[in-house]
Chain A
Amino acid sequence: MSAEAHGHDHGHDHEHEHHHKDTFITKYIFSIDHKMIAKQYLITGIIMGIIGIVMSLLFRMQLAWPEESFKIFNVLLGDKFAPDGVMANDIYLALVTIHGTIMVFFVLTAGLSGTFSNLLIPLQIGARDMASGFMNMISYWLFFLSAVVMLCSLFVEAGPASAGWTIYPPLSALPQAIPGSGTGMTLWLVSMAIFIASSLMGSLNYIVTVINLRTKGMSMTRLPLTIWTFFVTAIIGVISFPVLLSAALLLIFDRSFGTSFFLSDIYIAGEVLHYQGGSPVLFEHLFWFLGHPEVYIVILPAMGLVSEIMATNSRKPIFGYRAMIMSVLAIAFLSTIVWGHHMFLSGMNPFLGSVFTFTTLLIAIPSAVKAFNWITTLWKGNLQFNPAMLFSIGMVSTFITGGLTGIILGDSTLDINVHDTYFVIAHFHLVMGISALYGMFAGIYHWFPKMYGRMLNKNLGYIHFWVTAVCAYGVFFPMHFIGLAGLPRRYYTNTNFPLFDDLQNVNVLITTFALVGGAFQLVFLYNFFSSIFYGKKAVQNPWRSTTLEWTTPVEHIHGNWPGEIPHVYRWPYDYSNPNHDVDFVPQNVPMKEGEEVLHH
């Protein structure tokens, strides 16, 4: 940190110094500048990502070589959970649970949305900062606090929460049922409650900023698709996160104050509990009312980033700008009425299953529109294969591969036999895990110059992408087959089922790909952290892009633009416009006399 501070002080313009008196604390810690907050989100997200991925590698090793002894288990998990280096069955479930929680919420929600909404909303709409910089700061620090609480829960006596990231009661409500449902679960719930507060403050800020602070000429139909997706994501978040908060609070009531919202008729550890009249299915409804929109909260920003990066690097307008907006809105609307497809077999009325099958499969239509529009954007382009572009193409690829199997899982009839098997794991990791991660990587490679004023090394970026791409398919493609063989997820080992003995070789292959892919993320980490200090200095607009963030100076200043905020005269995708000689026309360039608008 001090090295960074030092570097910045050197390059600081003297004319800015008297505009604002930043101490170390107000500049780097309790900053209210959206650019700094974005970087804080990103670094926190990356650290959480490292933890989440390492956890997945640990339990993948257990699955490939069940109950074998590894020194590293003992080193990382301790004598209690990995005596003699053999992973215990309860810590296996805890690792699975916390991996899911961290990746979904801390990396792909806060790390992705938090970083790029904060960085890009003010810069791309032409605003000096977020509507409320102070609330933005609180939002980050609540997120940080929730991350700290979540990490603390790893160190409690009985182990962290281990009822799965979906924390279905009664398992999550009763410490008698699983040790992780004691203090570990309490901390999980507290952490999530804080996280939701943070997320809501962030989302409200994004919505208000996009609606109110657009610069002159920046109509809604001149917004880059990034902003559209961040805006819609924030709206979905505001609608659905409070429902998860209510579920968490009711669960806390059941756990600590003896209410029976989700519990009824339970006999455990030799005694009947007093709970009566509640229903775990109610919890499932509340959870998935957030849980399903949540996957769109994760993937929509990635879609926005990819759309923007693809247009820039194809030197072509994004194909079907309005259709892209419409499909985002359609996905957002449908995302709130499909949650029941996680619950076809929960015991709810099968008629509801029919309704949710119908709404769920409808989502394939706007998704298909998006995929075809991306592919058409490449057609007859002048493709510039920067690392960000590679990750964007990779994202479209994994989104299609993972999305297609959604047709199976969204169909209640077919879900009967693949529900909760490894088929589901393969599906959602490709369609929202890897895809969103690719979107995040694409965003980092593309906007790194904007964040740090330096460039990431492109050759390391190429190595990073290709190894990750091969490993991602290597991990998740074979996983479909073991799911179709009927292997349930969240099994510590399948050695108790000779029926599944022929799947073991596949499991070894999957883990090998996972370990290689995981190891090569070190290339990215090295590239990222060394480039912050030693990367090549960036020029103002390295990718020759049209959007407003590239009109700001490389060196960050409060208020983003030294003079007046630029006005906007055209849409954000004037690439290779035949009326102009250069292959990009920034949004702040006025229309030439008699210039026609060439798009709808």
Chain B
Amino acid sequence: MTSLLVIIVLVLLAVALWQLTKIFDLTQVGASSDDSQVASDNDNNVQGYIMFGFLAFIYIFTIYGLLKWGNLALHTPASAHGLLVDNLMNITWVLIFTVQVITQGLLYWFSFKYKGNKDKKALFFADSNKLEAIWSIIPSVVLAILILYGLYAWNNIMFVDKDEDVIEIELYAQQFKWTARYAGADNTLGKANVRLIEGINTLGVDMSDPNSQDDIVVTELHLPKGKKVHFKMRSQDVLHSAYFPHFRAQMNCVPGMVTEFAFVPTYTTAEYRELPFMIKKVANINKLRNEKSAELVAKGGTALDPYTFDYLLLCNKICGASHYNMQMKVVVDSPEDYKKWLSEKTTLAQDIKAASAAEKPAEGAEATTDTASKVKDTVKAVIDTVKAAVAKVAVK
């Protein structure tokens, strides 16, 4: 409601301004020449000074922004390669700010300095190969350095050596939740396909694959500190993107293919919570939440829970109406805690056995053949459709 009022006020303000200019125009009647709407010397002067003021606005706004919002940006990376990413980022920022300050400064300073008047004549300065060369070559050299550093970092991050010692974990995306599958003792994930989804086997793991027998399916992701984790990502329905902001890691999950990303976590959740910047950030968030809670309670609602930091996995590719709430908690443990946590989990094979034991065994078997025949039917139907379509085209 308040914003509606704000809008109305703004509209009225706009109308008022227009009325003022109208009055201003009416006072100009009599100056019959038709160039009354072309900038006069007076206009040039006034606008020139505003140009200078705007330069000040940009500079001050930038400094204000850096001071006020600078600490909102993601801080210390929680992964090994994150240092590389942040280092390149910082170098790039220095470059960007330097160029930004200089070019905006020149642009608006020239605008102010060379504001026109009737007695002046501009300098006829059409071209200079020397200048063009300078501002082609300098950016080329600077960019060459950035490109090389960028490619070096990219190759380091994206390619996982075959003989590297890694933990294999599958991230499984669906509208609107994440599931993880650990490869178990053999560190090899069993085959899977959405056509095999059935009952509590919600990931479509192929249980006839020997590698699947020790796979573990969980809904909260635990990672050991200091060990490289190799994620294999799948999606069940639409595109999703597995985004771990604190680890500087992201990769899309694509139905029909397996994508991958690997990183080494370097801070356990407990350690990361204790970093000074994080203590400050959480305190600030809780201050804001307390204010909001007071407001809610006054309205008769319930207060918000206080916030403690946890790593998160977010979905970062539009995936449907509830895209904004697709998340999974990520916990980084010490290697010992991680082992302990994992050893307490049951394998998918055990879960399936337990589930089918609870039901009648015969029903389960029937269902399996059902799915298989369904798949066959679908494939046959597709082939028939294509055949019919081809035939139709051929007849035509």
Instruction: Tell me, rounded to whole Å, the shortest Cβ–Cβ distance linking B29 to chain A.
Output: 11
Instruction: Tell me, rounded to whole Å, the shortest Cβ–Cβ distance linking B155 to chain A.
Output: 7
Q: Does B14 contact A (CB under 8 A)?
A: yes
| Distance A20 CA – B233 CA, assembled complex (angstroms) | 68
Instruction: Tell me, rounded to whole Å, the shortest Cβ–Cβ distance linking B307 to chain A.
Output: 4
Verify B107–A393 contact, CB threshold 8 A. Answer: yes
* B112-151 to A contact mask, C-beta < 8 Å, 1/0: 0011110011111111100110011001100100110011
Instruction: Tell me, rounded to whole Å, the shortest Cβ–Cβ distance linking B106 to chain A.
Output: 5
Q: B13 — which chain A residues lie within 8 A by C-beta?
A: 519
Verify A407–B10 contact, CB threshold 8 A. Answer: no
Verify A499–B312 contact, CB threshold 8 A. Answer: yes
Q: Does A397 contact B (CB under 8 A)?
A: yes
Instruction: Tell me, rounded to whole Å, the shortest Cβ–Cβ distance linking B135 to chain A.
Output: 4
| Distance A369 CA – B103 CA, assembled complex (angstroms) | 12
| Distance A491 CA – B324 CA, assembled complex (angstroms) | 5
Within 8 A of A (CB), among B36-66: 36-39, 43-44, 47-48, 50-51, 54, 57-58, 61-62, 65
Instruction: Tell me, rounded to whole Å, the shortest Cβ–Cβ distance linking A507 to chain B.
Output: 11
Instruction: Tell me, rounded to whole Å, the shortest Cβ–Cβ distance linking A532 to chain B.
Output: 14
Instruction: Tell me, rounded to whole Å, the shortest Cβ–Cβ distance linking B53 to chain A.
Output: 9
Q: Does A276 contact B (CB under 8 A)?
A: yes
Interface size class of A (residues with CB under 8 A): 35 or more
**Neighbour of B6 across the interface among A389, A488, A494, A515, CB < 8 A:** A515
Q: A163 — which chain B residues lie within 8 A by C-beta?
A: 318
Verify A502–B284 contact, CB threshold 8 A. Answer: yes
**Neighbour of A70 across the interface among B4, B143, B197, CB < 8 A:** B4
| Distance A578 CA – B259 CA, assembled complex (angstroms) | 65
Q: Does B153 contact A (CB under 8 A)?
A: yes
* A323-345 to B contact mask, C-beta < 8 Å, 1/0: 10000000000000000000001
Verify B14–A401 contact, CB threshold 8 A. Answer: no
Within 8 A of B (CB), among A384-398: 384-386, 389-390, 393, 396-397
Instruction: Tell me, rounded to whole Å, the shortest Cβ–Cβ distance linking B72 to chain A.
Output: 5
Q: A375 — which chain B residues lie within 8 A by C-beta?
A: 103, 106-107, 110
Q: B245 — which chain A residues lie within 8 A by C-beta?
A: 417, 486
Q: B375 — which chain A residues lie within 8 A by C-beta?
A: 272
Instruction: Tell me, rounded to whole Å, the shortest Cβ–Cβ distance linking B206 to chain A.
Output: 13
Verify B125–A265 contact, CB threshold 8 A. Answer: no
| Distance A460 CA – B65 CA, assembled complex (angstroms) | 30
Q: Which residue of B lies closest to A260 (CB)?
A: B382
Q: Which residue of A lies closest to B321 (CB)?
A: A90
Interface size on B, residues (CB 8 A): 140
| Distance A405 CA – B10 CA, assembled complex (angstroms) | 32
Verify A416–B85 contact, CB threshold 8 A. Answer: yes
Task: Contacts A458-B43, A504-B288 given; indicate if A417 touches B85 (C-beta within 8 A).
Answer: yes
* A393-434 to B contact mask, C-beta < 8 Å, 1/0: 100110011001101100111101101110000000000000
Q: Which residue of B lies closest to A171 (CB)?
A: B238
Q: Does A320 contact B (CB under 8 A)?
A: yes
Task: Contacts A93-B321, A170-B237 given; indicate if A274 touches B17 (C-beta within 8 A).
Answer: no
| Distance A483 CA – B385 CA, assembled complex (angstroms) | 47
Q: Does A522 contact B (CB under 8 A)?
A: yes
**Neighbour of B255 across the interface among A264, A365, A379, A466, CB < 8 A:** A264
| Distance A493 CA – B70 CA, assembled complex (angstroms) | 22
Verify B323–A490 contact, CB threshold 8 A. Answer: yes
Q: Does B100 contact A (CB under 8 A)?
A: yes
**Neighbour of B125 across the interface among A168, A379, A405, CB < 8 A:** A379
Within 8 A of B (CB), among A512-526: 512, 515-516, 519-520, 522-523, 526
Verify B44–A384 contact, CB threshold 8 A. Answer: yes
Instruction: Tell me, rounded to whole Å, the shortest Cβ–Cβ distance linking B387 to chain A.
Output: 13
Question: Mind listing 24 A-B residue pairs with CB under 8 Å?
Answer: A71-B4, A93-B318, A268-B237, A321-B126, A346-B254, A365-B139, A380-B125, A382-B116, A393-B108, A397-B104, A414-B85, A414-B150, A417-B248, A484-B72, A493-B324, A494-B324, A501-B288, A502-B285, A505-B288, A515-B6, A516-B10, A522-B11, A536-B37, A542-B35
Task: Other than A375-B106, A491-B324, give 5 A-B pairs with Cβ distance below 8 A.
Answer: A280-B255, A280-B256, A486-B246, A499-B307, A520-B10
Residues of B within 8 A of A (CB): 1, 3-4, 6-7, 10-11, 13-14, 17-18, 21, 24-25, 34-39, 43-44, 47-48, 50-51, 54, 57-58, 61-62, 65, 69-70, 72-74, 84-85, 88-89, 92, 95-96, 99-100, 103-104, 106-108, 110-111, 114-117, 120-128, 131-132, 135-136, 139-140, 143, 146-147, 150-151, 153-155, 157-159, 174-175, 193-195, 197, 204, 236-239, 241, 243, 245-246, 248-252, 254-257, 259, 281, 284-285, 288-289, 292, 304-305, 307, 309, 312, 314-325, 327, 374-375, 378-379, 381-382, 385, 389
7 closest A-B pairs by beta carbon, nearest first, are: A264-B256, A486-B245, A385-B47, A599-B126, A484-B73, A350-B158, A455-B37
